[in-house]
Amino acid sequence: MMVNSTLYYFILSTYVEVGTLKYLYFILTSLLYTTILMVNMSLIVVICMHRNLHEPMYIFLCSLFVNELYGGTGLFPFLLVQLLSDIHTVAAPICYLQIFCLYTYGQIEFCNLALMSYDRYLAICHPLQYNTHMSLNRAVLLIAVIWLYSFIKFLITLCLSVTLPLCGNIIHSLYCHNYLIVKLACSDTKVNNIYGIFGSVLTIVVPLLPILYSYGKILQVCFSGSIQTRKKAVVTCAPHLASLMNFSFGCMFEILQARFDTASMPTALRIVLSLYFLLIQPILNPVMYGLQLSKIRNTFKHVVCYRDKDTV
């Protein structure tokens, strides 16, 4: 097989299996993407425009909602174009850009959830020292660090992949995937594999340590505290735990799909599982936090009611 070191495009083979259902998928994807844009942008505006929400917890939430928009924009417009196209090709630069967007989205999401777990630990276990340990400026600095860290980490991954000479250009997926591109390489991929393992450990271990530590301490307080303390901890941590578990399962589905043969599974199920971490999370987070956290809920109601009065 001939080595092609100047590959200009990739072919996404999974779209062929969609067949005549592509118009139904297009409508569903359009509705989902519109909903993601509306709910996340609404909550971002509410948090940014109201000073009573300028606290570390809500700043972390704002970063989470911005990341949902970032990840969704890296996927959904691409899906919509591909669903309507009869030739499922993507230019190599666009493909690598999508890889960068989706991988950094996942890293930022996990790190952001880790920051939120540490923030809840401080609020529940050290309420009197909370403002000292977690100021607004420190929260903004931590958010900037995780975004910068994620960009640099996956920029290195992308640089290693771009330089690989490839023997093929068919990707068996709905979107560009770094692991599947590395599998197309004709040359030795030892460096890519080593950095990939190292990067995966960093992606999982770095956020997981503060999450385990924080919830270990929170559980200690719950078991030794009053019923009121337990209720407060449950109300505060329930949305975060649900978001964390949902995202973890979504990433697990995506990793297993990329590394194992799932041809025997129904096409619709494979599509949903491969996109789960980007389909559900951007909807689940704003709905959960918007409904669960009374301060956001009341502020949002105030904004809506105020606008209704103005129109009358």
For residue 301, what pLDDT band results from cuts at 50, 70 and 90?
A: low
pLDDT of amino acid 124: 84
Q: What one-letter code names the amino acid at 200? A: S
Share of the chain above pLDDT 70, in %: 86
Vertex 37: Cα angle to 92 and 174 (nearest 5): 35
Average of per-residue pLDDT across 68-90: 89
What confidence category does residue 1 fall into, taking pLDDT thresholds of 50, 70 and 90?
very low
Residues 216 and 108: their CA atoms lie apart, in Å, by: 23
User: DSSP E strands: which ranges in 77-125?
Assistant: 89-91
Beta strand 9-12 with 170-171 is: parallel
Per-residue model confidence (pLDDT) at position 228: 73
Q: In what order do the strands lie in the sheet containing 89-91?
A: 89-91, 9-12, 170-171
pLDDT in tens, 123-156: 888 888 888 889 999 999 999 999 999 999 999 9
| pTM, 2 dp | 0.87
The model's pLDDT over 243-282, given as tens digits with 9 standing for 90+, comes to: 888 888 877 777 777 666 666 667 677 777 778 878 888 8
Q: What is the dotted CATH code of the domain comprising 9-311?
A: 1.20.1070.10
